[in-house]
Structure 1
Amino acid sequence: MIVRPEANEFPEYYVPYVKLVPEGNLLEILKDNFEKTTALFEGLSEEKGLYRYAPGKWSIKEVLGHMADTERIMSYRLLRVGRGDKTPLAGFNENDYIAESNFDGLPIKKLLEDFTAVRNATITLMNNLPENAWEKIGFANNTEITTRAIAYIIAGHALHHLKIINERYLVTGTIK
């Protein structure tokens, strides 16, 4: 079982994500989040997928695309740190990724296929890491971080965006 990281295992700006992760089996939490995310997006029309709750904010499609991009990057970090790689890993600017993505031009079904592939790969990676990998320390975005912290950040990031979608984009399951 993947143990919750201590506060000194990751940068402070990730605290909100880690705090969102409930107690329990992290892999089950990821699977549950996947099911909820899939159900939510499968119920959206293409038109609703383009909804933005305010000018300059991402569309709901862009949020899903961002979730997949970020999980892909964080899973790569998890792999590198879990394998004991000490090479510093660069940060990334999520707004630059959105600007170059064309997520709004893709069908929701395609965005969900990508998110599904990434989530399945994340779960497979986590399932197959040896026990001693979880406490390894690496260097990403100019800070030290442990493998288990990255795993919790992945889960918390997805939970964060599902919460944002429900609070800012949806009211009882429908677009505002």
Structure 2
Amino acid sequence: MHKILGKDEFAPYYQSYVELVSEGDFHDLLVEGIDKTSNLVSQIPEEQGMFRYADNKWTIKELLGHMADTERIMAHRLLSVVRGDAVSLPGFDEETYVQAASFNKQTINDLLQNLQAVRRSTIHLVKSIEADCMLKSGTANNCNVTARALIVIILGHELHHCNILKERYLSRINGQAD
């Protein structure tokens, strides 16, 4: 459990993401996260972008596109919560989103630039949130969620997928065992 979050601040589905995130200033963690992700992704040759580590798994390009899509959705949820929108926000089907996108037609660099742009937007949003608004809560996918939990989920989702990228994609591309 992330030390600052209570278990009632997010859906149990996000527990594994939350556990990946260190305590710290959210702005700093968001900047450090995208810097590390950018360094990792910038080392992937374009010809490896269509690599899948197993049948029916996403390509590296699809994974990168999914990361940007998910952060956009979570940042929208964050905006809705801190602005006091009482509407129940819908869930989303990540598989449907990936299948409907054209990630495999884009370059790795374009997908990385997209992810970086989304992160810059998230950083600006987070910087604008007053400390007393971090405990505001709303409903997303029929579950209660706080503003600060959404930021931690954004960070943990990025860490989760960077770990998968290293352990399941790049280790196989580089010929290393799991």
**TM-score with structure 1 setting the length:** 0.94
Residue of structure 1 in register with 2:61 after alignment: 61
Asked if 2 retains the 8 angstrom alpha-carbon contact of 1:4 and 1:149, the reply is: no
Q: Deviations over 1:29-76 (max 9, x none)?
A: 221111111112111122111110001000111111000000000000
Say if 2:160 is the partner of 1:155. Answer: no
Residue 18 of structure 1 deviates from its aligned partner by 0.5
Q: What is the DSSP-based 3-state SS (H/G/I as helix, E as strand, rest coil) of the residue aligned with 1:139?
A: strand
CA distance in 2, matches of 1:112, 1:144: 31
Q: Counterpart in 2 of 1:88?
A: 88
Q: Separation in 1 of the partners of 2:29 and 2:101?
A: 28
Cα displacement (A) at 1:174 = 3.6
Q: Percent identity?
A: 45
1:175 Cα deviation after fit: 6.7
Task: Say if 1:4 and 1:152, in contact at 8 Å, map to a contact too.
Answer: no
Counterpart Cα distance in 2 of 1:30 and 1:175:
31
**SS of residue matched to 2:51:** coil
Question: Alignment partner of 1:158: what SS?
Answer: helix
Give the paired residue count. Answer: 174
Give the structure-2-normalised TM-score. 0.93
Q: Does 1:101 find its partner at 2:101?
A: yes
Structure 1 letter corresponding to 2:27: L
Once superposed, what is the RMSD of the aligned Cα atoms? 1.6
Alignment-mate amino acid for residue 60 of structure 1: I
Q: Is the 8 A contact 1:82 1:129 kept in 2?
A: yes
**Could you list the runs of 5+ residues in structure 1 that have no partner in the other structure?**
none
1:134-173 correspondence runs (5 A): 134-171=134-171
**Alpha carbons 2:26, 2:126 under 8 Å: kept:** no
* 2:46 paired residue number: 46
